[in-house]
Amino acid sequence: MTDEIRQQRTAQALEQRAHDLLLGHSFAQRQIGYIHTLDINHGEAIKQRTLLEVEVAAQKIRKLSSTSHHKYRAQASQQLHQVIDIAMKKQLADIDTVLHETIGIEDNVPAILDILAVKSASVGRLEPLVKDLTWLGRELVAFVNLPYYRAQRNKHTSVKVDTPSLALRYIGLDNLQFVVPTFAVRHWMPHSTEPFPLLKRRLRDNSIACAIAAQELAKFNDINEVHAFTLGMLLDVGKIALIRLYLRTFEQVWQRKVTLAREDQHKDLHTALLELKPDPLFLSTLLNQHALQVTATVIDKMAFRYLPFNAVLSQLINGVPKGDPQLPLAMLMQKARCYSQCVTLSEHQLVESDEKSLWFDYVGLSKQELEQLEKTNLQHFHIKID
């Protein structure tokens, strides 16, 4: 096996592991064959009384019954997810519905991000667009009144900020370039991700980490840092869409099948269905295989005029066509995504140092870039309000 193939396989395995971690630490551990030390018997077997013949017979019956039930439940889950898979493909084909109803992206958001990407941007151009987005107005007002930013303002000349228009002026265009995409992606996050309680928080943290890493690498490589940060935030919009779609579709299909099993008096099927929950393996595989393509489709539909993201995403998904150079922003996004995911895996002791080295070599992270990223707080962007 060549070094390049080893690096590629390691990168693919670690990206899958990062998706597993979104759905739960113990799930990610199980996927890599992690053995709990408490499950290992280091001493002699605990002495137990000899079972009576009738108890042995009953134990065998229970074991057979349990095995049969588990097989039946697995079969029910497989059939359920076949229906879910077909339903999701049909829904994903209608990208307008995915954009506006599944994720909840209003037309004004791409327009605002486009304005913020050009030198001719002005608060006056932003005001009418923000006015129509009541959630964004509330976020901006709350943000500028946070104790940290309120303390930065001149106590003698500052006034209470209680309108979006005033908040826009206090925050300033330079800061809005980073604040708005952050608030937008946070607004699109699923409201509930049960039975994966930490999924929403981890997805949010990963998005901001990737965006900040991209911004730092952009500064280091003389690339437009607004483009880098914005794409870093938007890179997980496909995951948001797939998570929302899967959890909603699972509930709808599951409810329908439970009702039919009850009406048809299929007791075993009804019992098995009642025990089923959204499958982390199905969702993790879905995210790993399709999230980036959904992101590209959504961003293409957002129809940015000044943010050059379509060609970048094409290279991230399909690779670089033979004879063409890799786009600087595409190279940067590979590095930012790799580093931010690697930091999260390291925090949960789910990646080894040799695996990290192979992954960093694969995406081309230099020693100087790593040193810069290691000094960067990937959870909080630092801005100053005059």
CA 11 to CA 30: how far, in whole Å? 19
Q: Using the 8-state DSSP alphabet, how is residue 100 labeled?
A: I
Which tops the pLDDT comparison, 74 or 37?
74
Domains for the chain: give ranges and CATH numbers.
Answer: 8-22+93-104+177-374 (1.10.3210)
pLDDT of residue 35: 47
Q: Dump pLDDT digits (tens) for 187-201.
A: 999 999 999 999 999
Do 14 and 359 contact (CB within 8 A), yes or no?
yes
Burial per residue of 55-93, b for 16 or more beta-carbon CB atoms within 10 angstroms, e otherwise: eeeeeeeeeeeeeeeeeebeebbeebbebbeebbeebbe
Residue 39 pLDDT greater than 80, yes or no: no
Residue linked to tokens 């009702």? 259
Least trusted range by pLDDT, from 143-147, 204-208, 318-322: 143-147
What is the model's pLDDT at position 214? 97
Q: Is the dihedral of CA 360, 365, 371, 372 positive or negative?
A: negative
Q: Is the dihedral of CA 47, 49, 50, 55 positive or negative?
A: negative
pLDDT in tens, 92-126: 999 999 999 999 999 999 999 999 999 889 999 99
| Amino acid residing at 184 | A
Q: How far is CA 385 from CA 47, 144, 145, 168, in A?
A: 69, 8, 11, 11
pLDDT-derived band of residue 34, with 50, 70 and 90 as boundaries?
Answer: low
Is the predicted pLDDT of residue 36 greater than 80, yes or no? no
Dihedral of alpha carbons 21, 26, 31, 33, sign? positive
The answer to whether the predicted template modeling score (pTM) of the entire model surpasses 0.75 is yes
